Structure 1
């Protein structure tokens, strides 16, 4: 048998140094925890605590100025899904989300490809495309409300040309298919809100796509050209599949914005006639702070939270798995 080689014994000084390092490391960990403790408490109280409180209120009978926290079950949720206004809100949110995301994706990708050609004045164009993102949705809503108002802006110019355009305030639903008590179709007035929202947020997708395009090595394109691929084939078969993860990220972020949209619509159109531009955020605000129906408002907020979580949580889980 070969003799076992035992590790050398640590001297007293080595043990003291190791113990000192451990104490220092523990002290650093404790100090780090102390620094982040206020943030943990703030998030715990003002985010998760208030979410839990809203969930509890949504199951109560508190629909007046006088608090009534007696348990009501899912009565408030049942009322909402039978309510004409909330049904219209869901319809508007669906079409706003679809057209908003499509507009941001298509315009962002086209403008990013345009900037990727290394054109002259690229810096100026980047600033023009990114500038709307520096504005708040309230400012954007006021600007586009003025531009699209029938008495001012673009519509006034069209009216002088004999082209009376009232689509901004239209209550028309296209194609207007009846589904129960609600018309199922695209509210024409929602198009105006989509234009304003896409104008502001397209710069984000431009930045994302441009970063992805610039990260693709030029050697890949040169190799494809040497193999006889056209520019269209290079983009369709090589570049677009490479930037597909960016597309997923943009979709998730834009869906999160569209599902909880409030300030843009409230500043631009409000709920609109027959609720053609109403969304759950506007309904929740008016129900809670103007009608004093706190339980109904809390139920709307929980529904909005769940719809956003349906998009965000799977994305976060897949991102964590990809990192690991």
Structure 2
């Protein structure tokens, strides 16, 4: 019987330890990704790091001063009347904005899902505001809700004359710190404009979710005796929960960093009733030349957005595995 020659140990080691050379496709992919990676690294994370560094400095004049100031700028902001008002406005704007965007988008999606006639026409009408910028929306709604023009020309005939975004009163207000904590009436006008523009996004998300639910699920529920209200409350709406979470995260991201709509429509407003951190940061940094204070506001805005975004991203990554 012929003897089998053992595979040389040296050759076996060389086969196991031989590194596979990167293919041309692999190198090409790296070449395409590398410029974007470097640009994001420099112009996103690099600038975030620089902003954080400035926020801990004494640079509050035209002359740069990078000496370490600790938490001085942050402590100043949280004791400042305007920033406390900004936090109040940002909180109530986010709650009202997110709530009404979800409610209006869901209701319109359910109506369009009934296979109504001229559905494409209504769908385009609801989607159209999304094509506009917040600056255009702010200018248009500033005119529409102007106390002396716009819809008030009609409301005065009914004996009504709301001040809209010029009203300085606070609903259900009580003293909290240096401000009156409650819903600023003037902020409601801004919420109306923002909801008008972003409802189309919520509508598109919910309509896609509704169209993705098989008809067999609906028919099975109806055959089991479920009414239309029970069908939506116990079956369809729970199935749309991931879409609701996505809408909340995206709308929270928009509301917490809102700037252009309010700057174009109302500005800070009397007694800062429509002011938000984005407007305060812009005026502090580029008009007042308080760069360290402005950087501190920007970092606080970043942290507030990250509180919503980071847990969602972590949950999404875990769900994909």
Could you tell me the TM-score, scaled by structure 2's length?
Answer: 0.93
Structure 1 residue 167: Cα displacement: 2.8
Post-superposition CA distance 1:35-54 (Å, at most 9, x none): 21111111011000000000
Structure 2: distance between partners of 1:179 and 1:321: 40
What does residue 210 of structure 2 align with?
213
2:316 corresponds, among 316, 319, 324, to 319
For the pair 1:295 / 2:297, whether they are aligned, the reply is no
> Gaps spanning 5+ residues in structure 2: where?
9-14
SS in 1 for 2:39: helix
Post-superposition CA distance 1:293-318 (Å, at most 9, x none): 00000000000000000000000010
1:154 corresponds, among 140, 145, 151, to 151
Structure 2: distance between partners of 1:130 and 1:6: 75
Post-superposition CA distance 1:21-64 (Å, at most 9, x none): x9774332222112211111110110000000000000000000
For the pair 1:60 / 2:60, whether they are aligned, the reply is no
Structure 1 residue 98: Cα displacement: 0.2
49-58 vs 157-166, which moves further: 157-166
Could you tell me the TM-score, scaled by structure 1's length?
Answer: 0.92
* Within-5 A mapping of 1:76-87: 76-87=73-84
Structure 1 residue 161: Cα displacement: 3.9
Structure 1: distance between partners of 2:117 and 2:62: 62
Answer whether contact 2:56 2:70 (CA < 8 A) is retained: yes
Q: What is the count of residue pairs matched by the alignment? A: 309
For the pair 1:38 / 2:35, whether they are aligned, the reply is yes
1:75 corresponds, among 51, 68, 72, to 72
> Gaps spanning 5+ residues in structure 1: where?
10-17
Structure 2: distance between partners of 1:309 and 1:65: 31
2:274 corresponds, among 270, 277, 280, to 277
Structure 1 residue 120: Cα displacement: 0.4
* Within-5 A mapping of 1:1-324: 25-324=22-321
Answer whether contact 2:146 2:164 (CA < 8 A) is retained: no
SS in 2 for 1:149: coil
Post-superposition CA distance 1:267-322 (Å, at most 9, x none): 00000000000000000000000000000000000000000000000000100111
Structure 1 residue 262: Cα displacement: 0.2
Answer whether contact 2:259 2:278 (CA < 8 A) is retained: yes
Structure 1: distance between partners of 2:95 and 2:141: 20
Change (3 A) 1:301 1:7: farther
Answer whether contact 2:166 2:186 (CA < 8 A) is retained: yes
SS in 2 for 1:53: helix
Change (3 A) 1:27 1:165: same
What does residue 15 of structure 1 align with?
none
Post-superposition CA distance 1:112-155 (Å, at most 9, x none): 00000000000001001100000000000000000001121012
Structure 2: distance between partners of 1:53 and 1:196: 34
